[in-house]
């Protein structure tokens, strides 16, 4: 539900002593002028200067929305073959815009099928030509000659670290990337991870490998203890960083903010880290642009911190930190706790019910095994106080087809 806005009300904020962002710094100018991107940042050594708030094209609804975003200064668009008709809509927008060099396009090494964990993204065993074909098909759908970057996407979905490292450094993929770069069809190689397994380890491996030009980790104010180490190493090696999942799930219950207020505070928190070039957020409406872009180029303030503190107080003990993994070894049944809680979040907070249920159905060992479990070891293992066993049972009821 990163794309949703909150109900307009300042009552709870007033009680907490937090002022509304409406009328404060970062607001669009008075008189009807729309907020727009105000800052562009270099993305490592790629030569790209990306809009600090950039367009995530998952569940994209129209080409017109892309054109609106470009008109308001967004120049970095993140898509994928398995994002439904996203690449087709971007292609339509490019034809109308007739200025490919105005934007940076990134896509993924994957198949144009509905998202399936460990299946839609190209895996170890794929051949060089499979990777090349994936990019060439993306180019055809978008009607362009090149991608500014292609991602090895969603590292850490698999439990086995060695197998994931093999995908990260797959010689077939690296050879395909080199060929695509020489042909002028790809300009940079990137990697992303939102866990749930070994996110920091895999991204650190990517940074140190010398093969990747930038990374995209899940990173937000609910703290990922090991991510700062990855960011520091990336900065040292001039590897760019694009943040995602910056809204920490975005739950509505109990939150009474002006539209865009919480989101803008969360964005500014991520962007005040000097290692972060920009962030990607799913855009599904013009209202999203109105709510999000006032944060562009703005400083992170004490008022923003109070907004985030309030959110953390309400929801911090119910949000599974991507890539943490503390609970995974505690379950004797081998239930993939982190993956299940992520699918529950997709269903409840992102409004992506179909993807959540299909992903859950594909698990070999799901939370149905938790029904008769009297051992609360998974809950005890969580360093953030989540009621893990209770959440797993609730997730099973929610996600079972």
Could you read off the pLDDT of 165-182 as tens digits, one per residue? 999 999 999 999 999 999
Which residue from 279, 274, 291, 175 is spatially nearest to 234, judged by alpha carbons?
274
Q: What is the distance between the alpha carbons of residues 241 and 215, in angstroms, rounded to a whole number?
A: 5
What is the CB neighbour count within 10 angstroms for residue 354? 11
Identify the band that residue 368 occupies on the pLDDT scale cut at 50, 70 and 90: confident
For residues 167 and 92, membership in a common domain is answered with yes
For residues 141 and 257, membership in a common domain is answered with yes
Residue 55: is its pLDDT beyond 90?
yes
For residues 184 and 278, membership in a common domain is answered with yes
For residues 373 and 294, membership in a common domain is answered with no
Does the residue 316 lie in any domain? no
Does the residue 235 lie in any domain? yes
Residue 118: is its pLDDT beyond 70?
no
Last residue of a domain, one of 251, 284, 300: 300
Is 120 in contact with 112 (CB distance < 8 Å)? no
Does the residue 315 lie in any domain? no
Does the residue 319 lie in any domain? no
Does the residue 321 lie in any domain? no
Number of domains in the chain: 2
For residues 86 and 224, membership in a common domain is answered with yes
For residues 245 and 342, membership in a common domain is answered with no
Query: Max alpha carbon distance in the chain (Å)?
Result: 62
Residue 253: is its pLDDT beyond 50?
no
For residues 277 and 149, membership in a common domain is answered with yes
Is 215 in contact with 192 (CB distance < 8 Å)? yes
Residues ≥6 apart with Cβ < 8 Å to 140: none
272 phi and psi angles, rounded to 5 deg:
-80, -5
204 phi and psi angles, rounded to 5 deg:
-65, -40
Does the residue 311 lie in any domain? no
Last residue of a domain, one of 300, 320, 340: 300
For residues 242 and 160, membership in a common domain is answered with yes
| Triad 73, 66, 122: Cα angle to 5° | 110
CATH number, domain of 119, equals 3.20.20.100
- Which two three-digit tokens encode residue 29? 């100018």
Please report the pLDDT score of residue 335 as a whole number.
84
The overall average pLDDT reported for the chain is 85
Please report the pLDDT score of residue 135 as a whole number.
98
What is the pTM assigned to this prediction? 0.81
For residues 287 and 380, membership in a common domain is answered with no
Percentage with pLDDT > 90 across the chain? 57
Identify the band that residue 117 occupies on the pLDDT scale cut at 50, 70 and 90: low
- Which two three-digit tokens encode residue 398? 């929610």
For residues 188 and 286, membership in a common domain is answered with yes
For residues 216 and 332, membership in a common domain is answered with no
Beta bridge partner(s), residue 56: 78, 282
Q: Which residue has better confidence, 316 or 62?
A: 62
Taking the CA atoms of 371, 376, 380 and 384 in sequence, report the sign of the dihedral they define: positive
Does the residue 313 lie in any domain? no
For residues 205 and 85, membership in a common domain is answered with yes
Range of the domain at 16: 11-300
Taking the CA atoms of 79, 85, 91 and 93 in sequence, report the sign of the dihedral they define: negative
Does the residue 5 lie in any domain? no
């Amino acid at each position: 539900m990163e794309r949703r806005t909150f109900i307009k009300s300042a009552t709870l904020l007033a009680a907490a002593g937090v002022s509304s962002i409406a009328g404060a710094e970062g607001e669009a100018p008075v008189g009807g002028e729309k907020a727009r991107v105000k800052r562009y940042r270099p993305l490592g050594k790629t030569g790209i200067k990306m809009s600090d708030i950039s367009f995530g094209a998952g569940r994209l609804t129209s080409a017109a929305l892309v054109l609106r975003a470009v008109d308001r200064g967004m120049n970095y668009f993140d898509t994928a073959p398995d994002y439904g008709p996203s690449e087709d809509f971007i292609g339509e927008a490019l034809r109308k815009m007739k200025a490919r060099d105005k934007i940076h396009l990134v896509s993924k090494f994957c198949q144009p099928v509905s998202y399936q964990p460990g299946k839609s993204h190209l895996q170890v065993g794929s051949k060089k030509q499979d990777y090349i074909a994936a990019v060439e098909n993306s180019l055809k759908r978008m009607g362009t000659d090149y991608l500014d970057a292609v991602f090895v996407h969603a590292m850490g979905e698999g439990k086995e670290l060695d197998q994931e490292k093999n995908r990260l450094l797959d010689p077939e993929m690296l050879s395909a990337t080199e060929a695509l770069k020489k042909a002028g069809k790809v300009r940079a190689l990137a990697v992303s991870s939102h866990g749930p397994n070994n996110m920091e380890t895999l991204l650190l491996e990517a940074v140190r490998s010398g093969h990747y030009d930038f990374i995209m980790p899940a990173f937000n104010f609910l703290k990922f203890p090991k991510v700062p180490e990855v960011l520091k190493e990336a900065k040292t090696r001039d590897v760019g960083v694009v943040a995602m999942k910056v809204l920490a799930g975005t739950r509505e219950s109990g939150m009474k903010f002006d539209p865009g207020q919480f989101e803008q505070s969360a964005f500014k928190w991520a962007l005040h880290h000097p290692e972060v070039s920009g962030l990607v957020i799913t855009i599904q409406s013009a209202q999203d642009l109105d709510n999000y872009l006032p944060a562009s180029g703005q400083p992170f303030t004490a008022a923003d911190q109070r907004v985030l503190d309030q959110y953390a107080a309400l929801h911090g003990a119910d949000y599974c930190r991507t890539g943490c993994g503390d609970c995974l070894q505690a379950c004797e049944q081998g239930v993939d706790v982190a993956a299940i809680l992520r699918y529950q979040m997709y269903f409840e907070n992102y409004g992506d019910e179909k993807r959540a249920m299909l992903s859950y159905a594909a698990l070999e060992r799901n939370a149905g095994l938790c029904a008769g479990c009297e051992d609360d070891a998974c809950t005890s293992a969580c360093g953030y106080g989540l009621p893990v066993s209770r959440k797993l049972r609730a997730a099973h009821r929610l996600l079972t087809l």
